[in-house]
Every structure is written in structure tokens, then in C-alpha cells.
Amino acid sequence: MRLDIATVCLSGTLDDKLAAAARAGFHGVEIFENDLVVSPWSPGEIRQRCADLGLSIDLYQPFRDFEAVPPDVFAANLRRAERKFDVMAHLGADTMLVCSSVSPDAVDDDDLAAEQLHVLAARAAGRGIRIAYEALAWGRFVNTYEHSWRIVRRADHPALGLCLDSFHVLSKGSEVGGIKVIPGAKIFFLQLADAPRLRMDVLQWSRHHRLFPGQGAFDLSAFLGAVAATGYAGPLSLEVFNDVFRQSDPARTAVDAMRSLLVLQEETAGMRVADLPVVPAPDGYAFVELTAPDPAGVLGAMGFVYTGQHDSRPVQLWHQGDARLVIRPGTDVRIGALGVATADPLGAAQRAERLLAPRLSDMDYDDPGVRAPDGVGVVFCRPENDWMADFTPADPALVNTCGITGIDHISLTAPFDDFDQIALFYRAALGLEAEPEAEFAAPFGLIRSRSSADRNRRIRIALNVAALRRGDWAPAVAEPQHIAFTSDDVIASAKAMRELGAPLLDIPGNYYDDLLARFDFSAERLTVLRENSVLYDRDEHGEFLHFYTRMLGSRVFFEVVQRIDGYAGYGVANSPVRMAAHRQFRLTHG
């Protein structure tokens, strides 16, 4: 299926946009009128530039406020349309988008709208052009696809059909099942956009908050499935108005856009992407790679055991239970890579590459891997742990001392501009399912948290963003990361680590006073939590106990968690407490 993108989705000049679309692998573009108007190139030069890049121009848009108007306005609109047909002839575009009118000149008269659109279609047909009529969600009288289809049927001209835009359909809450009765040949163009669920004016929602498929709350697979059921054979095109995208690197945005379309096709019944490997089921974290200047102090105090040095690379392996950390020398502490266990490492890597992730160098890892959009490596390993044979064994008598059994989840913080594309990448590349998004007021601003996990909850990734600080989670802490380890007894783990001198984070007493008000605790249990700075949460499934280390370096800390009776969350309600405690420690200890 042909994949297109509207130039309005991307930042920069028209040349920037076309080059980015071509590099990302798009087949064609919609030329947004404003982009043409400000371009120094003539329409003929734009046509040649697209041809040189291997792009077709599949839609010219938008033509506004045409139908159901008085005779004098109608005559002026026809003159305006003829001039646009001249432009389209030079562009080599054969379809023009006509939006339902919002003009104060328009009247609520379907017969008149159909009559005038019939005349327009006849004029267009004489020039080899088709008219795709679209119901704007905020159209003055025509604002649903059902209404626009009634008018197109009444107009009854072969050069007049529909443009269906997922935003205009889904933002109105329209049922998509009705699309299936429309003949596919009368759907001239299809535009796709996702969006978060917001309670606001629909025009402002559309103009500023659209997203690429899979990044919002709309059921685009159901929408696309309904369109596909009609026999529609035209392009799948993205039309996304988004303030961030229009300020971002167009090359990165175009890659994100293409990835979203590939995933949407995969998730839509009856569709497939021939060369996109099926995601192999992940089998947990094989390891997490950290750069660190001196790991022995903190890791040893947390009960981790030095396993050995790599045979050919300057990295060490530390482990405790099934939690394995690969340590690479560095001046600061940060997460460099995630090792994901899978029965098909090569297939998993090929899938991620088909989703436009760059391949990791063979010089760094023996197993195949890719670089995620946030710069973190994703390395795919077999679950049998045969990769550990590359490390020279240390003393086999060393044992786990602090009760850590494995890795529960990884938490990353994304820059504001990249949050949506990073979240989509991890979900798509690793076959994760999105979990409910959380939002909370932190000491330094509003934080959004979006988590995803595989069906067996062996791989969990929580992605956070500061909504206004563009990635700074607190003063001097840019884009923090943390690893959450599992324990069968968090209280015992906390006590053991304190005895070994681990830098655990102290939680203020006010938190425990509030905890007593919120939950029915015995005095003894609350005392144990308070003495060990263990935090608590509860959901409909079970309980969650967890504690943290202080910040290690400029951005990384550890967490130890215990899930009881199927608790599914991440203790988000406690995040502001942890952030304030980290800040207080930095203020008092530098």
C-alpha cells in the first residue's frame, strides 16, 4: 500500500520536508497550500524535485469555503478553483481536497451544496482532476462523514468523492462501522492522525494536538479496518498538525511518521507489512548496561557480586539473582543499553531495523542490536545466557546477600519533543502493550508517565516527561533514569543494604503520617516502613512496597520493589515524595 505524508506534518522549508519524506521511505506527499505559497520554487520545479526524490504529489490541499453559497460568491469560488487547477496542472497533482464550509456565506442546504459541488467536479474532470470532499469536525453545517457522504451521493458525479480523515471522524465520536457501506471507489483519499483525549474546542484540538498513529488514544486500527473493508485502494496518508513536530528536525519526525504507519498496518485486521518480521516474544531482561566510573562501592553495598571481566571488551558483569548489570567505564552513571532476552535475536533486530532503528556496531556487542531514538541501545540475546560465557568467571563462592531476584522495570525520562516517538518505538520494537497513562504534580512541575509491558510482564518500560521543562525533572537533573530491581522481601533487602552501607534515600516522616491516614495500618507495620524508608501503594489487585537509592552521578538511581498479589502499577503516587527527597539530599549534601 502506498504511504504518504502531508507536508504540514514536518518542519522547515518545502525542500526540507520533501527530502525528509523521501529519506524516510514515503511514496508520495500531500502539498499543503501554505508550503507552496512560501516556496521560492515554481509548481513545475516542485514537481521535478519530487520526481527526483521518487515522490508523487497525490493531493493538493486545502480548498476552503466553497459550497452552499449565494450565486455571486459561488461564481467567485469557481474562479478561485480554476486558478488552483492551473497550479495543480503544473504540480502534476490530480486530486484536490475541498473542506466543508465554515463560511458565514454558507447556508444549510444539502441540495444546493450538492449542486455546486457537481459543477466544481465537472470543471475539475475537464482538467483531469478529482475533488475529494471532507467533512471538517467544526464545519458550519457539514461536520460528519455521514453528512458529507449524503451530499456526495446527491451530487452524483464520477469526479467527486470523499476524503476521510480519522481525526474528523473519531474526534466527533462517530461510529466507524458506517464507513463500510461507502463504495471504496468513492473514497478518493484517506488521511490519518491520532490524538490524546482532551476536553477542548475541537478546532484547537486539531490544530495543535494531533499525533501520529499509536501515539494517542484513538482506535485507528478499527477506523482503518473499516476503510479497508470498502475496497479503498488509495494511499494511507498522514495529516498531523502538531506544534512540536513543526519545530522539530524533519528527518527525525519523518522517521517517526513512517514507523507509526508500519505499526498501524500491522495492528489492523486484514493488513500486513510483507517485510516486517513478527515480534518475537521477549523473555525478560538479559542485562542492563551502565556506564559508571567506579561500580564496586554502590553495587557491592547493594549485594551485587562481581562476576567477571569480558574477554575482549572493557566491561564487567555484576549480578544478583537474575539481575545482571554490564558495567562500562565512564565519567558519569547512565543507562547505555538494555539486553532483552528472546528466542529469536536476529528476527527481533531485523524487526527493529525495519522500523527504521539504526543498527548497533558489531564492535560493541556480539549479539544483534539497534539504537532507540533516545540513544539507548537495545541488544537482543538468547534467554539461555550463553553470552555470559564471554566473561571470565570470578570467585564462585560469592553469593547474593541482599535479596534482589531480578529486574522489574526500567524508567527513562525523555525530552519533551521526543516523548511520543520514543514511547512508540519501544512499544513497537519490543511488542509491548501500552498501559494507562499517569500524570502527577511533582515538586518542579507536571510529569506525564507512560508505561508499556509485554503480556507476561517480563519487560516493563516506564517513560516520563516533564510537560513544561523540556526534560529537566528537577534543577540540575536532566533526563533521569532508574532501574527497579525485584525482591521477595523488600524490608529484609533494605535492612541488609543499610548494614552494608548502601546509599539509600531517606523519606520524610510526614509521608508516613499521611500513609496512616490513607490506609488502615497497624502501628507496628507503619514503624517498620518508616524505619527503613520503604514506600507503600495499593491497587485493586494487591500491594506495592519499594525503596530507592540516592542519585548516583548526575541522573541515575536504583529502586527495589516488591509486588504482592498482582499489583500492576509503579507506585506513581509516591513519585513526588521521592523527587522531593532526592532534591533535599542534594541541597544538604551538595
With H, G, I as helix, E, B as strand and everything else as coil, classify residue 186: helix
User: Would the annotation count 94 as a binding residue?
Assistant: no
User: Would the annotation count 267 as a binding residue?
Assistant: no
* Cα gap 43→202, rounded to integer Å: 33
**Residue whose C-alpha cell is 465537472:** 122
Contact at 8 Å (CB) between 35 and 50?
Answer: no
User: Would the annotation count 134 as a binding residue?
Assistant: yes
- Dihedral over alpha carbons 306, 307, 309, 314 (to 10 degrees): -60
With H, G, I as helix, E, B as strand and everything else as coil, classify residue 216: coil
Helix segments in 3-53, DSSP class H: 14-23, 33-37, 43-53
* Cα gap 22→26, rounded to integer Å: 6
With H, G, I as helix, E, B as strand and everything else as coil, classify residue 521: coil
Contact at 8 Å (CB) between 538 and 498?
Answer: no
Residue 156, C-alpha cell as written in the block: 452524483
Query: Half-sphere exposure of residue 164, counting CA atoms within 13 Å on the CB side?
Result: 31
Helices 419-430, 345-354: crossing angle, 10 deg rounding: 140
Q: For the residues of 363-409, what is the DSSP string, one character each?
A: TT-SS-EEE-TTS-EEEEE-TT-GGGGGBPP--TT----S-EEEEEE
User: Would the annotation count 239 as a binding residue?
Assistant: yes
Residues 6+ apart with CB under 8 A from 310: 316, 317, 390, 391, 392
User: Would the annotation count 175 as a binding residue?
Assistant: no
User: Would the annotation count 165 as a binding residue?
Assistant: yes
Residue 507, C-alpha cell as written in the block: 523519606
Residues 6+ apart with CB under 8 A from 417: 244, 247, 248, 470
Residue 403 phi/psi, 5-degree rounding, is 80, 5
| Amino acid letter for position 580 | A
* Cα gap 531→534, rounded to integer Å: 8
Contact at 8 Å (CB) between 152 and 186?
Answer: yes
Count of helices and strands (H, E) across the chain: 17, 26
With H, G, I as helix, E, B as strand and everything else as coil, classify residue 325: strand
- Residues within the annotated binding site for a divalent metal cation? 134, 165, 191, 239
- Residues within the annotated binding site for Mg(2+)? 409, 482, 559
- Residues within the annotated binding site? 134, 165, 191, 239, 409, 482, 559
